[in-house]
A and B are shown apart, each in its own frame.
Chain A
Amino acid sequence: MKKTFTIQYVFAILIALCVTSCRPESDDLLSYGQNDYQSYYDANHTFAGEFEAFWMAMNENYGIWDYEAEFGLDWDEVYNTYLSRFEELDQRRTRVTDAELEALYTEITDPLHDGHMALTVKNLHTGKYIGLTPHQNRVRREREQDLTEAMLNLTSLDAYLTPEMDAAYRIKAYDGTGSTDIAFEFIDSTMTRAKRAADAYIAMVDAAGGPNASNDSLYVAADSLRVDAQKLILFINTLPLSVRVMMKSYLLATYDMLYTKYAFVGKQIGAPIVELEKEFKEDLLGSFRFALFEGNIAYLRFSGFGLTPHMTSSASSTENPTMYSAYQEAVKRVWHHWFDTIQVLHKSGQLGGVVFDMRNNTGGNLNDYQYVLGALLPSGGWDSHMLRLKNGSGRLDFAPLQPFTAPTYPEAHEVINDRPIVVLANCQSISMAEMTTWGVKSQPNGHFIGVRTYGALSGLSAEPESYSDNYSGAFGVQNVTPIWGYVPKLISLFGEQQQILEGVGITPDQEVHLDANMWMMQQRDNQLEAALDYIRRN
């Protein structure tokens, strides 16, 4: 009996020991999603603290650590290697320069493959926020030739509109946002209005005594200008590139002069010209073009996916139209020209094929899919690939996979599954342009011509500030917290092997490099001609 109790005691002690000691506890983590005082305390005071916050935030938010490991990156090793270098910066008595800090963080982030990621780190000595875009560095570093080709401005189809063009490549019908009557009509009227407004303002202020006029008079004049300045902004933002080059000088010069001359009024009369220029450059829809080539090959090109707001806008008021609404009408008109042409030709069995030109297309809204490739596929959506959501603070924590169902055109339409669809893309085809490229390449009648795309295929949060919705997608607050990051939370997995293609991009079925000499000397586009040739052969 005594022996029985002894055994029981031994077991009881063993159990007690195991239960109390065999389950080590997890680390407690802080959130870097918001401007949290505790999370960012060290980061606000030392370079080492800033690096640790950066390392942790990336560790918890970045969605493709498994992919990076395939390229040999060990994020723990990054911590062990670099922490001491930041500690050295803290101990140093001399000022840390922006270039120095940028070089250090570039060294850390350049190996990362995500194609969308944007990061900033603050130089605690100078107060400057340093931007980091490793994906751009990668393209510059690894794809110099492709980038040089992409830098050529491939927007003109003028050569193909001339009667001298080889008959096989000639354009039969053409439409573009910058060439429609409606757009020109409003450009003219807005030009006139803007000139009149500028002249009136100058006259008004001068009549009131110029810079020495009473404040009241100047305020009245400034108010008057402010209204017109907004019109000016809208107008400049929506000017097609070719028209802008011809006509912008007077407007910009006038506006600049006004802004500078009367800034002393102290009343905001509009945005500085630098901001106007920036907005203009970032305009996603600088050009939108349809062409019908010989052989009934329908061609569509645009520079960014921002169609949906235009396609869904209501008709502009005829009584008081704005330049912007006119532009929206022009986009709709071009798109319908392209779409309706395909419908008619396919119904009558005359459609030769379709070309999507995604070269230098920088991506944009997902919903646009329905107006591009989705307009040729059956309604109800198309399962393009799988999505993996970063879900949890662990480096490899993911939610169950979900199919990425791309929206397709919901109204009754022709499904183009019997004629070739070709997509042209290059190393500046980014994000949605790559999704479209993948979509075309995946169709039985699809073909991709050009060079490998950019490699930015994962999804970003439309609202990076909504970090707490999923604890991923972004960390920090831009230009407020010492570190900030905007990183994809929806990782795209392609094909049967469910491959991640960040930093790699979509590989063409038929690699064709741009013949730069041919383009510059003759304005002929050998990639486009390869697409037309392919369709004719098939």
Chain B
Amino acid sequence: MKRNLFIILLFLSPLVLHAQWRIGVSGGADYNKYSINTNYQVDFRYEGAWGWSAAVFGQYNFTDWLGIRAELEATERNYRFYRTGVWAGTNYVLHNTYLQLPVMAQFSFGGQNLRGFVNVGCYAGYWLTGKYKGTVVDMINDTTVAINEPYIFQNEKDQHWDLGLAGGLGIEYRFLEHWAMHVESRYYYSFISTVKQYQQIKDYRYNTTLGIQAGFSYIF
């Protein structure tokens, strides 16, 4: 047993030697696309919409090219819904706020101060809130009215939990011995439908999010 443990530590020793911790913050904008089958509802239009994201993260580098990064991120996954035809005037963005935890392996490459990196991993998230902002057609008075109201969750239908792939491509500049800044394009691909399969009819709706974010990190 002791022999086995010794062998494992021996193999890990190069990694431990390069071990390095860092923590940081990042934030930016994201563009979310909502995938839904609208079937025969030909004037139901779903379009992507912009939102924001903010995160704190910690990263542990095993070597100079491989690390593992975990983030705690608040992010919006918004989409626009609008109608054409006689219901033109209904046009709102559903602002959805998620709290999520991406865990990614980071592969980096390049020089001492300026390095590129690729993040690959997965994330788990939780849909915290939703809010409608925009206009709807008032069916009673035949006018268009502004709305700014919370989305009311339906427990039977709405899936709060989210899970999917996370990936990123970025560049980092180490401007001081312990400080670095980065810019990253981030991609989230959800595997979990935002609606539960609460009915016999199969109906899957997904978020796919592309973001651009920048941040700083402190390297211990």
Contacts and interface: CB of A to CB of B under 8 A. Distances in A.
A binds B: yes
Interface of A: 4, 7-8, 11, 15, 18-19, 22-31, 33, 56, 59, 66, 69, 75-76, 79, 366, 387, 389, 392-396, 399-402, 404-405, 459, 466, 469-471, 490
Contacts, number: 110
A299 B4 CA distance: 96
A28 B140 CA distance: 32
Contact of A75 (B41, B191, B199): B199
B201 A29 contact: yes
B39 A29 contact: yes
B149 A401 contact: yes
Contacts of A27: 37, 201-203
B130 to A, nearest CB: 10
B206 interface: yes
A469 B199 contact: no
Contacts of B86: 466, 469
Q: Which 8 A-B pairs have the closest CB atoms?
A: A31-B40, A26-B37, A22-B191, A396-B157, A29-B39, A400-B132, A76-B200, A27-B202
28 contacts: A11-B120, A15-B120, A15-B165, A18-B191, A19-B165, A22-B164, A23-B35, A25-B37, A25-B202, A25-B204, A26-B204, A26-B205, A28-B37, A29-B40, A30-B40, A33-B40, A75-B199, A366-B140, A392-B44, A394-B195, A396-B198, A399-B90, A400-B132, A401-B149, A402-B139, A405-B141, A466-B86, A471-B41
B147 interface: yes
B118 to A, nearest CB: 9
Contacts of A4: 65-66, 107
A26 B202 contact: yes
Contacts of A7: 105
Interface residues of B, number: 46
Nearest to A401: B149
Interface string B89-109: 010100000000000010100
Nearest to A30: B40
B46 to A, nearest CB: 11
Nearest to A21: B191
B138 interface: yes
B156 A69 contact: yes
A395 B199 contact: yes
B31 to A, nearest CB: 19
B198 to A, nearest CB: 7
A400 B136 contact: yes
B189 A19 contact: yes
A434 B151 CA distance: 28
B173 interface: no
B199 A393 contact: no
> Which of A15, A399, A471 has the most C-beta atoms of chain B within 10 angstroms of its own C-beta?
A399
Contacts of B90: 399
Nearest to B134: A400
Interface of B: 35-37, 39-41, 44, 65-66, 85-87, 90, 92, 105, 107, 120, 132, 136, 138-141, 145, 147, 149, 151-152, 154, 156-157, 164-165, 167, 189, 191, 195, 198-206
A396 B157 CA distance: 7
B37 A396 contact: no
Nearest to B195: A394
Contacts of A19: 165, 189
Contacts of A11: 105, 120
B161 to A, nearest CB: 15
A490 B136 CA distance: 14
Given A24-B202, A26-B204, A471 B132 contact: no
A38 to B, nearest CB: 11
B41 A393 contact: yes
Contacts of B154: 66, 396
Contacts of B198: 395-396
A387 B136 CA distance: 12
A4 B106 CA distance: 12
Contacts of A392: 41, 44
Given A400-B92, A402-B145, A31 B39 contact: yes
B11 to A, nearest CB: 11
Nearest to B202: A27
A394 B157 contact: yes
Contact of B149 (A28, A29, A79, A400): A400
Nearest to B189: A19
A470 B202 contact: no
A179 B41 CA distance: 53
Contacts of B36: 26
Contact of A23 (B87, B191, B199): B191
A404 B140 contact: yes
Contact of B136 (A31, A395, A402, A404): A402
Nearest to A466: B86
Contacts of B167: 15
Contacts of B37: 25-29
Contacts of B120: 11, 15
Contacts of B66: 4
B204 A389 contact: no
Nearest to A3: B66
| Interface-centre pick from A4, A466, A469, A490 (highest chain B CB count, 10 A) | A469
A366 B165 CA distance: 51
- Most chain A beta-carbon neighbours within 10 Å: one of B44, B151, B205: B44
